[in-house]
Each structure stands twice: as C-alpha cells, then as structure tokens.
Structure 1
Amino acid sequence: MATKKRWRAIFRARLGRMTLSKRRAGSRRICAHLGALVAACRPRRLYAFAPSFPEPDLWAFYRRVLRLGLRPAFPKVRGKRMVFYQVPSFAALKRGAFGIFEPSRGRRCGPPGRSDLVLVPCLGLDRASGVRLGHGGGFYDRWLADHPRGIRAGVLFDCQLARRIPRTKKDAALMGAVTEHGFIEFQFSPFPFGAALDFLTFRQQIKKSRAALPRGPR
C-alpha cells in the first residue's frame, strides 16, 4: 500500500491536471449539492472553511446561505489548534496562517451540536471508510477529535477519492462527502456515542431528501 506521502503526491498531481473550466464547473455543482445538503439538514450552525486553490470554490454557496440567514463560521489557527468564529461579513476574513483566509473578527463558536454541519477540506478521502487525508499539519484531525459532535462532511473533487488510504489512530473519519457528482454516504464508523446519534439522524435526513440531494458514485 502506498504511504501517505505518496498519496499526497498522487492527489496533488490529479488536481494539477484539472483544467480551469472543469474546476469551475465542478465547483458550481458542488455548491449546488451543498445547498441541497443544507436544505436537508437545516443546520443550526455551519462550520465552514475558506477554500484556497486548487480546492473547490465554495464562495457562491457561502453567499447563498448568508442571504438565507445562516452565518458561516470559519477557522482561525492558534498555535497547533483551530478556533471557529462566525464572521459578520466576508470582509472580516483576512489572510492568515499558510496564506489561508481566516477571521480577523467575529463571534467565537462553541462546540458543534447535533444539528450543526461541519464542512471539512480534504486533500484525499477513502471512499469506503471516509478516512480523510490532509496536508499533514493535523489541524482538522485534532479539532475533530476534540469536537466529536455534528455532521461531518468532506468537500472535494471526485478525483480526490481513493479506494484505500493508510490510516493511523489520529486520522479522522467523516460521515459523508460532497463532490461534483453528488453526495457519498460512508459506512458507519465507530464514532463516540453522541456522534453516532448524529450520524443516524443524518442518514434519516438524507433519505427524506433523496430527491433534492444527488448521490455520488460509490
């Protein structure tokens, strides 16, 4: 099995081969699917992330939910940890750690609850188990370990999916993912009790909204 370092190189190469037009079209579809996901889950809070190239462009989706009254929260890096803040507007986002936009002001968010939606950036994702591969900093692995509640969904292009990715005990698993082809629901993972209830609730919500929420290939 390829190492994590090798898989990171593979996913970066795949992203590098995407044309600008394909990236834009894929981002538009992902934003549409995320809109359907929000309509299905009706989250109390949305834990978002500020995408940077070559990640999917999600700003159209964020503008849409902001108009609907759902104010996204974005992470700010503090040492080796992240803290989420709800921003009054996107003007409150400034370039911070690693050149990524993060809140310069806003209201600090507490831990996610049962009805909250957590969008997670991914360099790669195991399509069978939902195990996430990041860039190696461990920020999301630590944050997700500290905050087990809420609905965890990865956001990425289909080319970033793989059949099997190496996993360590510290690697976080997600409940589902959204790609340009729709929604992928992963097999049940050994989440803590409260998060397991969130997962079961999530599955029920998806079943009720199947017509509005396209399902991606497995």
Structure 2
Amino acid sequence: MSEQTIALVTGANKGIGYEIAAGLGGLGWAVGVGARDQERRETAVAKLRAAGVDAFGVPLDVTDDAGAAQAARLVEERAGRLDVLVNNAAVTGGMPQAPTLVPAATMRTVVETNVIGVIRVTNAMLPLLRRSRSPRIVNMSSTVGSLSHQAGGGDTGPISAAYAASKTFLNAVTIQYVKELADTNIKINMGCPGFVATDLNGFRGVRTPAQGAAIAIRLATLPDDGPTGGFFDDQGPIPW
C-alpha cells in the first residue's frame, strides 16, 4: 500500500487556494488548509471533508515567524513530513498603485506577504520537505510579474507598482531557491492561474477559481523527471 501524499496550501480557505486544496484532495491526498482566519479555515475544512477530502486545518499567518514555525510543527505531528507545499497566499495592497503615488507602507505590506511570506513558510517547511521521496514546491505567481510582458506592452492590467513588482520579486527569489537546492530532489516551479474572479480583483476575472487552480495542481504532481525552475500557465512556459 502506497504512502498517502501530504500537501499544504497557504491561503486555502477560499478562492484559488481552496480549489487547489480540493483538487489535490481529490487525488486522495491529505491536504493542510493554511489560513489565518479561524472561522473561514474551519468552514473550508468542513466543506472539503464533506466532499470526501482528507483535509486538516493549519493556522497560518504567512507574515508571522512564530506562526510559520507552529504550522511546521503541526504538519510534522500530523504526518512527519511534507510532500508538496503550495505558496498561494497573497494580497494586492489595493489600487491604484502608480509608482509616483503608492505609499511606502503599501509596498512593505505587499512584499511582506507575497515575497517574505513565501520565504518564511518555505524555510519553515523545508526540513519536512526534505523527508519526502518526491518533494514539490509551487509558488503562485502571475503573468504581471513577467518583465517581458510588462515591457512588451502586453495586457497585464492596471499599473501596480506593489503587486506586479512583488510577483517579479517572487520569481527572482524562487530561482535562487532552485539554485541553492539544485543538488536535492526538490522541484520548485512558479505558476500563473490567469485572470481569475476572486476578491483579490473584485471578482472581475474571467476564469473560475477551479480553472485557476489547474496549473498549481499540475506542478504539484510533476513526475520525477519533470522541470524545476520554470514559470508556467495553462498554455506552457511564460517568458521572463
């Protein structure tokens, strides 16, 4: 009998994160629902369990060092290891974000969650991921983080000096992880969900959360000969 795969998804109480958890749980995995809001976390876990998913709640504020450490201890107590980490939690910081007008406090808030939060949680979970036979890390990024798209005049939405720049920053940090962990079996990739209707954009998106979750599920289930250090959406690689 094969070992059950253990995953943790941050920001999993709603939207894309919830659908990632649901999709991975549908594969028979045990899925940690990482979220800071207790009521929403418990509601999401109950809903997932009602759908047959082996879900468990993980109190997690990605901006808090002690919280990330406690989350790692909880996962260790539950399973002794972690096979897949999906860093999904993110904030936009609110709009507008013209670089000449965006408050420094907004920049700090967005980077603290979208970049430093990913570093904080990843580092807390790395000892558990190292115990896995086929560990995977998926960092949820965005096409708006592609400098090629931004400079090329592609449709990358409104000017967002905080949010877009945080995703570029996240991509750069992810590559540094890939370089540092090159001699391990940990595969790390970035995924763009597309323009999904969530509260992050006032539900203006044209894709469903389930559609947005598909890329994370694909990268979380890569075979051992799959890529690492890539930036993908549903259509394939995204230019940097």
Q: Higher relative contact order by CA 8 Å / sep ≥ 6: 1 or 2?
A: 1
Q: Report which of the two structures shows the higher radius of gyration computed on alpha carbons.
A: 2
Q: Which has the higher strand share?
A: 1
TM-score (normalizing by structure 2): 0.37
- TM-score, length basis structure 1: 0.40
